[in-house]
A and B are shown apart, each in its own frame.
Chain A
Amino acid sequence: MAEMSAEGKEPEILFWVGCAGSFDSRAQKVTIAFCKILNAVGIEFAILGNEEQCTGDPARRAGNEFIFQMMALQNIETLNMYKVKKIVAACPHCFNTLKNEYPALGGNYEVVHHTQLLQELINQGRIKMEAGGSFKGKKITYHDSCYMGRVNGVYEAPRGVLEALDGDLVEMKRSRTNGLCCGAGGAQMWKEDEPGDKRINIERAEEAIGTGAEIVAVNCPFCMTMLSDGMKAAEKQDDIMVYDLSEMIVMTNKW
């Protein structure tokens, strides 16, 4: 972003990479896949690089408002300095915080989640899927992330993308509004589970396995980690793959 603005250019959209997308090795692959798509369709985008900070979501949900405010106010400073108007986030938590919580602090942007942008691009014909792509007829199940689904009411965009991939979508019993959480939200990602019978991600992974799907599609880096771990615990990591929707588009098109 700094380079673009030094050249006096205004990017079409700012890609908010997020902490997971920046540092988690699995989520980095999603980040790269998404960039490939943006490049392939010729969208001029920027990232903030080191000027991007955690949105503060995990701190806020844990109860630490101080740290949230520190992060949020710094980010808003940066975003406003670059006069950012539109943001795409690859993480539902970043998306939610940028979209719903920054306005109260003085940060007003048009925010979309990457699955929403992907569907838009597919609908506009800017992303064309190769006919008979690698997912044709494969059994795919889709895991609704809480922060896209119940929290922001986005259920159809990701399913639209899957449809375009020509896969055979099998729903889990708990889906859409009844979708079961992967277990990572509310800063659970960073702590051990409270005492109980089972981990939440195991419960969800078992449900996904029960559908007989070969692929679990997700839209959130935390769901990705949680469900991948769940597959490992069930020793299914070689049979059932957990992919983000952008990775699937890249694979189909062999970009």
Chain B
Amino acid sequence: MVQQIVFFVVTALALGYAVKQFLRLRRNILLGKDEVIAGDSIQRWRNVALIAFGQKKMFKQFIPAFFHFFIYTAFLMTQVELIEIFIDGLFGVHRFFAPILGGLYTFIISFIEVLSIMAFVATFIFLARRNLLKVPRFFKPEMKGWPSLDGNLILVFEMILLIGIFSMNGADVLLQKMDPSHYSDTGTLAVSSWLGPALFGGLDQSTLMVIERFGWWIHILMVFIFLNYLPKSKHLHIIFAFPNTYYAKLTPRGEMENMPEIMNEVKSMMGLGGEEEAMAEESELPEFGANDIFDLSWKNILDAYSCTECGRCTAACPANITGKKLSPRKIMMDIRDRTEEIALNLDNGNMECAKDKEKPLDKTNYDDGKSLFDYISPEELHACTTCNACVEACPVLINPLDPILKMRRYEILTLSQGPSDWLPLFNSIENGGSAWAMSVDRDKWAKDVTGE
């Protein structure tokens, strides 16, 4: 009974805190602008099935995809086991499903055991790859500190989880023989049926019971810790990969978002109508492009939270390959960091960050004197060739190019800054209708050939 109450309290606390954190993430994502994402839902579900579930893009590189797949299936399968843990914990029963499912139960638990071991091996290989083989994409400047710790911490979690699972199952196998009425028969488990006797054989019943409970609690506590660690980690992608692929844009990649405000203004300048619409937008000092996350779309922020920090984008980026400062992964991490900075101020109700101190602090009343440009320098933005290699490479359909172009728009349109080399380009297009200032006819080449 005491155990049930403790379990109930721990679960309520852990789930409550997790819900709070996920709601906070939702609020953070909605700090971005509203954007309706068009396109049919069948194509979207296809993307979720192929790219999130099927991990299609991962399989461009077979070895990491193969090991990642173990970790991923182990993760999915463990969820089944968790249902039982909840039932057992709340109702004070033991291995609720064992008698009901019989042989199937043996199979499922054995399957989970094998998968967990393989997942552990896979994590181990990943860590070796990261830290010993030094895969270059994990050693870019943006990977110092928390991002690299975050990548390594998961092994520790896995290890503790594994200790939990096997002390729980291992002791249980022995206890089944001592007290069959309480410890229902699980059949022969793939790993624990030999590992249990090997480790705990010869211990008395009360010690075994302690070990079994210890494993059980470690298991569930690890799950709770992981759940609450997720929102702070790149491992959030195990959840966010799904909505992120669902909401990925279906419009042509080559299409930059149109800016109707500017279109209508230019139309009215050219006498093509559109005056009324241009007039309707009476804002005194219009700001174009993105200066901060508030001007990005909510989808850009969802992208940032879904980023796995894998660096496939950066490894494919021509600018980064040739030693420029631009790294598309860093762009995504910066957006996330900036969002977190703002979120923290909002959480604390830090009134120093309010534009109007009289009004409550919220997304429309926020100014901490900083912007995304404190994270992302013009030098980085200017190095992008819009080649879409990052967009193509991302396994969870993140688009790092979109925010880069939005920030370029801010720099050129609102700040009237940007590379000085571009001024002649703009001038000759504006004045001569051509990307180069030319004094000859556009069809001079044809006249030269035909001799006209």
Interface residues of A (CB under 8 A from B): 17, 19-20, 22-24, 28, 31-32, 35, 47-50, 52-54, 56, 58-67, 69-71, 73-74, 77, 96-97, 99-101, 104-105, 146-147, 150-152, 177-178, 180-181, 183-188, 190-200, 202-204
Contact = CB atoms under 8 A, between A and B. Distances in A.
Nearest to B404: A186
B206 interface: no
A178 B258 contact: no
A146 B382 CA distance: 18
Candidate in B385, B413, B430 with the most chain A CB atoms within 10 angstroms:
B385
A96 B266 contact: no
A73 B442 contact: no
Given A17-B442, A64-B413, A197-B322, 17 more contacts: A32-B445, A48-B442, A58-B435, A62-B408, A64-B422, A65-B262, A65-B288, A69-B266, A77-B272, A177-B392, A178-B392, A180-B318, A186-B386, A190-B425, A194-B379, A200-B385, A204-B318
Nearest to B322: A198
B256 A60 contact: yes
B433 A196 contact: no
A188 B392 contact: no
A22 B443 contact: yes
A60 B408 CA distance: 10
A77 B266 CA distance: 13
B429 interface: yes
Interface residues of B, number: 67
Contacts of A48: 442
B254 interface: yes
Contact of B435 (A19, A47, A77): A19
Contacts of A58: 425, 429, 435
A73 B263 contact: yes
Contacts of A70: 266, 269-270, 430
Interface string B425-452: 1100110011110101111111001000
Interface in B177-231: none
Contacts of A150: 253, 387-389, 391-392
A24 B442 CA distance: 11
A181 B382 CA distance: 15
B391 to A, nearest CB: 8
Contacts of B385: 146, 181, 183-186, 188, 200
Interface string B105-139: 00000000000000000000000000000000000
Contacts of B266: 66, 69-70, 73
Nearest to B425: A190
Contact of A187 (B258, B425, B443): B425
Given A17-B442, A70-B430, A181-B385, A196 B259 contact: no
Contacts of B441: 49-50
B40 interface: no
